[in-house]
Amino acid sequence: MFRAVGSFPHDAGARALYEGTLGWIMSDAQYNLDRLNILVLDDNRNMRVLIKSILFALGVRKLHGAHDVKQAFRDIQYFHADIVITDWHMEPLNGLDFVHMVRSDENSPNPYVPIIMLTGHTELPRVCEARDAGVNEFLAKPISAKALYSRLASIIEHPRPFIRTKTYFGPCRRRRNLGAPRGMKERRADELEKPGNKSPRGSYA
């Protein structure tokens, strides 16, 4: 018997088959990381070897290593990086300088490229400093394969809008949607409560 499109099977066997098929379809997504260009910037050769080896094993094939900020900024002009992984501590320019250059320099080929910052500094003020420079993800050293994979997945799955203000340009720094401040009414509430002013949601906030 054929069912109408959109109807739901009611007998248990058909339902299990339906849900099983749906589950199969929904979990069929995979990553083909060989489609991505990833730039690795670290002044320490051993760290570059480690990061590139992890990425290669995860399936990334188009990898480019750079050992200083100037070289990396030159290289991204022709190596069209989809993701940048950079160390923080480098000289004379450091990872934060590189983030500023990528986000704001007029010669930057892609100010929106996702950037993962690697660092041995895990103190909160440092994390905030990296975030405020326009970093997408933060990865503390020592790194692991799982941690690097999870940052890549986060960047692919949860792209964040970019925000431009007078003092900041970079991915939205809000990581969670917390809703309205607890216990406070909507800021526009006073305005909405005026007679004749109706909330766009159809009720007064």
Partner 1 sequence: MSDRPDVQIIKPLNTLLKAKTGSGRVTPDLEAIERAEEAIKTIGDDFANWAQSDLDELDKALAAARTNPDRQEDYITQIFRRAMELKGQGGSFGYDLISQVGESLKISTETRSEANPRDVETIAAHVDAMRVVMVDDIKGDGGDVGRAIVDGLYKLTTGS
Tokens matching residue 103? 């986000």
CA atoms of 200 and 111, how far apart (whole Å): 35
Catalogue the E-assigned strands of 104-148: 115-119, 137-140
Residue of 153, 188, 189, 191 that binds partner 1 (CB under 8 A): 153
Is residue 197 a contact residue for partner 1 (CB under 8 A)?
Answer: no
Nearer to partner 1, 4 or 25 (CB): 25
Nearer to partner 1, 172 or 204 (CB): 172
HSE toward the beta carbon, residue 177, CA cutoff 13 A: 3
Nearer to partner 1, 70 or 141 (CB): 141
ω into 109 cis (within 30 of 0): no
Task: Give the interface segment with partner 1, choosing from 3-11, 51-59, 179-187, 191-199 (CB under 8 A).
Answer: 51-59
CA atoms of 97 and 148, how far apart (whole Å): 22
Is residue 58 a contact residue for partner 1 (CB under 8 A)?
Answer: yes
From the number of C-beta atoms within 10 Å of its C-beta (0-12, 13-18, 19+), residue 43 rates as middle
Print the binding letters for residues 100-139 with partner 1: x by CB under 8 A, - otherwise: ------------x-x---x-x-------------------
Residue of 164, 173, 185, 187 that binds partner 1 (CB under 8 A): 164
Is residue 156 a contact residue for partner 1 (CB under 8 A)?
Answer: yes
Is residue 159 a contact residue for partner 1 (CB under 8 A)?
Answer: yes
